[in-house]
Chain A
Amino acid sequence: MTLVIGAFTIGLILSLLSMGVWISFRILRYCDITVDGSITLGASVTAVMIINGWSPWSATIAGTLAGGAAGFATGMLHTKFRIQELLAGILVMTALYSVNLRVMGKSNVPLINVENISSPVGRMLNRGTGGADSINLLGWAVPIQDASMLITVLIITVIVALFIRRFLLTHLGTAMRATGENPQMVRAQGVNNQTMIVFGLVFANALVGMSGALLAQYQGFADVQMGIGMIVWGLASIIIGEALVSKCTPGFALCGAIMGTILFRLLVAIALRWGLNPNDLKLVTAVFVFAALVLPGGIKYFIGKYSKEKLNG
């Protein structure tokens, strides 16, 4: 059961990342690999702030904003300096490696015996159960600490998802969705598509930063290496999610991203339990994404991408 709870919690946390990746890859149709750096940035900023006595909430918000700043940098490199989207992401990601080391001062910052974002919920549960250190969930004894984290990230993820859905249905959100699909049309309707790309990347990377902030608090440390391969995990989650729901409306697509991430984490947990070498995990994930891209659905994805470039040219 610990395994399932863990998979759910980490799945919910990473679904913030997935939603960020979904915004850049699917909405903006922008191949943004800043993600690997911005998730670590979110984690490191949050960890350092918590250690220095800031409240977990303000630290999480700061991590989120830091992620947004990374997205802003990528967006400006691409739109103002006309650097290819992939290269702009690589530049920022590489630079962030040093930035993260600077922020943390070392390669790993442990968060042991400090307040984290789930602590208030933990105290509430504690009071509710009269001081027990575990609660009964469907017949299983779950440690209070794990339960409070699960509840906290569930609430955050649901609020964030509702917020994104609502945003995408506003005038601004509609324009952002159209930007990815048809920049030509968007310009003809009086929208600066470049601004939209920058804005979208800020938005996406802020979500990734938030994901990093929560991840650091959940696993109890921030590590300079923790972001490696995150983009691929995000993509894998989205692909699973799209297989689960039709992706017509923003609401459904967001649900898909969340469900896909959780399912992906469950699959990973099961695979590890069955003896998959953790070192092989990234290879397996990459192969999975490759297969998903090459199979018919993936081909369609590429065509969508191609037609966008054609209209750009």
Chain B
Amino acid sequence: MNLETQIQGSRAVLKVTGRLDAAWAEHFHNSIQEVIREGHHHLRIDTSRLEYLSSAGIRSLLRIQRELNSVKGSFGIIHPSAFVAETLRLSGLQQMIMPESETSDVETVQDAGMSSLAALQPISGIRFEKHSLKEQGKITVQRNGRWKSWQPVRKEDAVEISFSKNIFGLGIGAPEHDIEAARTRFGEFIAVSGHVVWLPGDGTATPDYLEQAELFIPRLHVIQSLSGEGDFSHLLRFSPGEKGNFLNISDLFLQVLQTTQSNAAAMIGIVEVEGLVGSSLSKSPGLISETDRPGDFPEIRNWLRFCGERIHSQTQALVVSFLSRDPSHSSIPHLSPLPSIPGLRVHTHASILPYRPLQQGILELESSVRTVFEDNEPIDLLHLIEDDRPLIGLGQSAFIRGACWCAPLQFSKETSS
């Protein structure tokens, strides 16, 4: 089997030659997925040279169709040979075949709606689109939990929070019914529109997750957390100008600050990963005793897990960041300096999932998050850091493309006091 790709405006035409059977279906699907990743959501499969199509081939065609439908793309078979047309007809899939006439006019239907679109200056080959969502949109950030890093956890350090759809956040916690039960399991979490992913600190190394459904609202005992509530002012979309371009997270932070025209911002991103650098708890801080010194080397090895290399490339990450370069925020806990941008303090958690394409143009946060989690399970969770060791440093996390909802942030009164 051979696949030739031709880009015609917003459409990609893929000409298949040879056989599409069980032996080739996997390869076919991966090749097409590659094309979708590159941002082509309107695909036409030219089957005039296709010699054979088995059920395995049809199955992968259906999978691609479903994926494209979920991102409001389009998919169709063009120039079917008599054999292909007959096979599809007998399978009841003749609607997959697109008439010649329709192939010309699938120009992008921009959902201009409420937003206004503006192109920004590219950074290191990455193009940006800025969509304004809500004027005066603002996020109010609250600090929860009173645990001071690497001290033993006291009962009064923990507080229980419900993460309903309108709250997002990050921190360290566990979804147990009381703090004593949670003590052995505290770990990093991320919460976005009713979805909570957390990495239990009991050594399992596999993230667990909770989803809001019907009357169930995820609740966590947290010992350290920042949570945000409010409206996002902007949506930033970015994608590579050409293959191989990627965006460092510090550049994304600068772009967010510039877009929101503020010194402090909150951000939720759904991004394709080029590489992540981060760390996570390997042992629950609830187990720290008076004599432990988890922050010191080498004891730190037992408490924290360091990625050791740039990991999770080609996956998708759900990222929550709080960032500020406002000097008056320097006393806010849980924000730490980013070496590459002096003065900027951030806290970022990322949950890693298998890749899913996102619809183009303007996106709604809740439905996008739902798409990301559909039939997918989180692979990992990281607290992102920047490794600035000279020569051997892993650098910072970087992304290939994605969507970021952002807004200026303000801290609630009790937090800033």
A–B direct touch in complex (beta carbons closer than 8 A): no
B interface residues, Cβ below 8 angstroms from A: none
